[in-house]
Amino acid sequence: SLFLSNCSNPSSSTNPEDTTGAELDFDLTSNEFVALQNDGGSVATNANEIDSAGLLLLRTGENVKAFTRRCTHQGVQVNAFYNGVALCANGHGAQFNTNGQHISGPGSGSLKSYDTLLDGNTLTVFGG
């Protein structure tokens, strides 16, 4: 049998809203974010005041990177990084590297990134 996958998500925009001035703090000792205590650890959040698609967080050395979870192809959510690659959640094959750059599958460009500050076990993500 033939299986077709629909890549569209009409309720999700590919143009994120302007959240300049917004800040979110994450406690890396909480169960939900403990993976970010280790290099290469990644977490995907739900929608929040910084990004309505949620955030994709990745620990790299002494820093944590933050990206939108909104795929550049159709705006559907991107899953947390695994082995250095983040995949589009709907299975259409879009992939992004640890710099948020599109590396394969449908779509192009990079995931929107956000500035972060890691102070001990507190991560602050800044909107923009």
Angstrom distances, CA of residue 46 to CA of 49, 104, 106:
10, 24, 23
DSSP string, 12-78: S-SSPPP-TT-EEEEETTSTTTGGGGSTT-EEE----SS-TT-EEEEEETTEEEEEESB-TTTS-BB
pLDDT per residue as tens digits for the range 98-125: 999 999 999 899 999 999 999 999 999 9
pLDDT band at 90 (very low <50, low <70, confident <90, very high): confident
- Whole-number pLDDT of residue 17: 75
Chain-wide mean pLDDT for the chain? Answer: 87
CA distance 90 to 6: 8
The reported pTM is 0.85
Place of tokens 């259409």: 92
Joined together, the tokens standing for residue 38 give: 């280790």
**CA–CA gap between residue 76 and residue 86 (Å, rounded):** 13
Q: What is the mean pLDDT of residues 79-87?
A: 95
Question: Distance (Å, rounded) from C-alpha 44 to C-alpha 56?
Answer: 5
Residue 16: per-residue pLDDT: 52
DSSP code, position 101: B
pLDDT, mean of residues 51-63 = 96
